[in-house]
Chains A and B, each alone.
Chain A
Amino acid sequence: MAIYKTNEFKSGLKIMLDGDPYNIVENEFVKPGKGQAFNRVRVKNLKTGRVVERTFKSGDTVEAADVMDTELQYLYNDGEHWHFMHPETFEQITADAPAVGDATKWIKEQDMCSVTLWNGIPLNVEPPNFVVLKITETDPGVRGDTSGGGGKPATLESGAVVNVPLFVQLGETIKVDTRTGTYVSRVKDE
């Protein structure tokens, strides 16, 4: 079992606290000139997303959390769980709603997602930065307006609603930046 000493602490390090995996957000070294040294850290619980403060005595050790990010292909949703597959080993992994979170409104079958696994269990699913999705619902736009000024809401096949330019029509396919939730461009059907 891997162990980290406080002098290895830095942001991004994954550690175990009270049985849960945490990510170090910030590490502050605190030491009076003539006294005990401490590491005062801000840690994020990777299961709940809650950020808390924690103080360690410098030199203390803490168990490493077996957390890794893996690229997995999204297969399908069975109504309750989301199923993913490793593209080389074909190993299948099942994620629940808290782990999938907001990713659910962006991903469609066969998309590659970055899945954070803790002891093989998905904690978090990140959709690809850019996704290409079909518009399933939007008001008819103003003919001839290609300026992109103004906009209207459009519902996508995955369920997300994004603001699109007025000239974009129902049934068209668009590219969206999932990090900001914004429209990027129209995609011509092959």
Chain B
Amino acid sequence: MIPAISPPIDHTWLPCADLATQRRRAQLYADLREFFAERAVLEVETPLLSRAATTDPALASLMTQCHLPGQSNNELANYWLHTSPEFPMKRLLAAGSGAIYQVCKVFRDHERGARHHPEFTLLEWYRPDWTLAHLMDEMVELLRTLWQRPDLPTKRYSYRALFQQFLGIDPWHLKIETLPHHAIAHGIGGAETLELTPDGWLDLLFTHCIEPHLGQMGCLTFVCDYPPSQAALARLNKDGDITTARRFELYQYGMELANGFEELTDANEQQQRFQNDLQTRAEQNQLIVPMDTALLQALADGLPNTAGVALGIDRLLMLITGKTTIDEVLAFPIERA
């Protein structure tokens, strides 16, 4: 006998983030705008819609259609929602903008979880003629300001040193075929059934065995100097006996918060990386997307040496307000959108 129950009351029109969290977000925006205004970094705005998409095989762009007067409904009407404002911001830099920043929504298909949401807010900024070390210093200053905690500790590690410390392996000198054994030996359930690329195995080991330990006690923990195969849009650098990608990621409380690059400025190498990405996409049966030729032209005309970084604002807000899911800092997550 099923007991009678009253019909459920639908609360899904209500926001997920409480009012205190919404106020803290507003405070964050006010504080970061003041921070950059004091440093004469210009706030800019670039389009969310682009005729090109990111070729990065690890990112999936959302597509929509936009019909301009006189345009028929063909693929010329296809526009991609950006996964980061990087390409148009680099065009502004190449056009002589000087230091710039932007706070905007970005979109990534297929990403949903306690720390992932298909649309989220990035703070991205670029510092012409700066080194990565300098940019990391500024990141620490910014986060101490936004956290309102001038005492937040900070540390820097190389990607290589972390693999040696936590896993006893050197990603620059190992046999690719031993990677699955390391994953199994470190107790990653189901590792024996996975089929991954070499970088996929490194990502598996990093996310399962290293990442959760980074940035405990709120320490702003930078991971620097990635394998060249994970360069994305960073420059390569000969570093003693190895080549590294001039990149960093920032972690706090086991969560990835930011990704920084000493930006690639070579148009030919950029084009080659786009083509390699598209090749990988073809091999993995992923959508083939148009590469950003306007960026290539801008690089050909000359992008100054620049350090740039993107910081996930929603995740930062999660940490500052002590929330464990991204839904708790969003007014209306996608399921309520």
A residues in contact (CB < 8 Å) with B? 7, 17, 27-38, 40, 52-58
Contacts and interface: CB of A to CB of B under 8 A. Distances in A.
A52 B249 CA distance: 30
B58 to A, nearest CB: 6
23 contacts: A7-B110, A27-B113, A28-B113, A29-B113, A31-B58, A31-B111, A31-B113, A31-B207, A32-B203, A32-B249, A34-B259, A35-B199, A35-B207, A35-B230, A37-B58, A37-B110, A37-B111, A38-B204, A38-B207, A54-B189, A57-B196, A57-B200, A58-B110
B314 to A, nearest CB: 13
A33 B250 CA distance: 11
A58 B189 CA distance: 15
A58 B110 CA distance: 9
Given A30-B207, A35-B58, A40-B208, A57 B195 contact: yes
Nearest to A71: B2
- Top 7 nearest A-B pairs (CB, nearest first) are A29-B113, A35-B203, A36-B200, A54-B190, A36-B203, A54-B189, A53-B189
Interface string B246-270: 0001000000100100000000000
A128 to B, nearest CB: 9
Interface in B92-147: 110-116
B232 interface: yes
A55 B190 contact: yes
B189 A29 contact: no
Contacts of B196: 36, 57
B194 interface: yes
A134 to B, nearest CB: 20
Contact of A55 (B189, B195, B199, B206): B189
B27 to A, nearest CB: 25
Contacts of A29: 111-116
Secondary structure call for the B interface = loop
B272 interface: no
Nearest to B111: A31
B328 interface: no
Given A7-B110, A54-B190, A36 B204 contact: yes
Interface in B194-217: 194-197, 199-200, 203-204, 206-208
B40 interface: no
Interface in B224-251: 230, 232, 249
A28 B203 contact: no
A36 B58 contact: yes
Nearest to A56: B190
A33 B113 CA distance: 13
Given A29-B116, A32-B256, A35-B58, A55 B188 contact: yes
Nearest to B202: A35
Nearest to B187: A53
Contacts of A58: 110
Contacts of A35: 58, 199-200, 203, 206-207, 230
Contacts of A31: 58, 111, 113, 116, 207
B56 interface: yes
Given A30-B208, A32-B203, 8 more contacts: A17-B190, A32-B207, A33-B256, A35-B230, A37-B58, A53-B189, A55-B188, A56-B194
Contacts of A33: 249, 256, 259
Contact of A32 (B188, B194, B206): B206
B191 interface: yes
Given A55-B189, A55-B190, A55-B204, A34 B195 contact: no
A174 to B, nearest CB: 18
Nearest to B59: A34
Contacts of A37: 58, 110-111
A30 B112 CA distance: 9
A67 B232 CA distance: 44
A40 B232 CA distance: 25
A55 B194 contact: yes
A11 to B, nearest CB: 12
Given A30-B207, A55-B204, A55-B208, A36 B189 contact: no
A133 B249 CA distance: 63
Contacts of A36: 58, 196-197, 199-200, 203-204
